């Protein structure tokens, strides 16, 4: 009898959680997961392409996928394979995980703005609608 009461209580608790999360516990988890797909834009929307932050390799270092058409924005960036996040919030893209091709600082709003190299000015913002081939 105690087991039946415990099962009924657990079912009620689960149902309450479902109601609080709009019927889906997964939807709450999805909302908490940050986007790993970004839109890279040159000089105020003159051109754009997609980059995707991949699996974490070590503290601050992740794999990176850069769309081939990003070359139009900054020649050579299409070869970047690593995303390195500094303790100060900067983000650098590199081929080898060490030497940056481009470095971004946190922007005033959401996302990042490049500061090295100085030209072209690039912005990087989360974009869940883009895929790395776009």
Residue spans per domain, the chain = 2-32, 37-126
Q: What pLDDT score does 79 carry? A: 97
Residue 51 — very low, low, confident or very high, per pLDDT cuts 50/70/90? very high
Q: What pLDDT score does 24 carry? A: 40
Half-sphere exposure in the Cβ direction for 126 (13 Å, CA): 9
Select from 133, 132, 129 the least CA-distant residue to 35: 129
Residue 116 — very low, low, confident or very high, per pLDDT cuts 50/70/90? very high
Which whole number is the average pLDDT over 84-107? 96
| Mean pLDDT over the full length of the chain | 79
Q: What pLDDT score does 128 carry? A: 60
């Amino acid at each position: 009898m105690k087991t039946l009461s415990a099962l009924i209580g657990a079912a009620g608790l689960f149902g309450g959680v479902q109601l609080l999360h709009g019927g889906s516990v997964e939807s709450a988890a999805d909302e908490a997961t940050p986007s790993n797909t970004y839109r890279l834009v040159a000089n105020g929307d003159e051109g754009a392409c997609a980059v995707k932050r991949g699996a974490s390799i070590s503290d601050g270092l992740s794999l990176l996928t850069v769309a081939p058409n990003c070359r139009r924005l900054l020649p050579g960036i299409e070869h970047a394979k690593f995303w390195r996040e500094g303790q100060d919030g900067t983000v650098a893209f590199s081929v080898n995980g060490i030497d940056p091709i481009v470095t971004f600082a946190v922007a005033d709003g959401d996302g990042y703005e490049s500061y090295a190299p100085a030209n072209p000015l690039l912005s990087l913002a989360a974009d869940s609608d883009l895929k790395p081939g776009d």
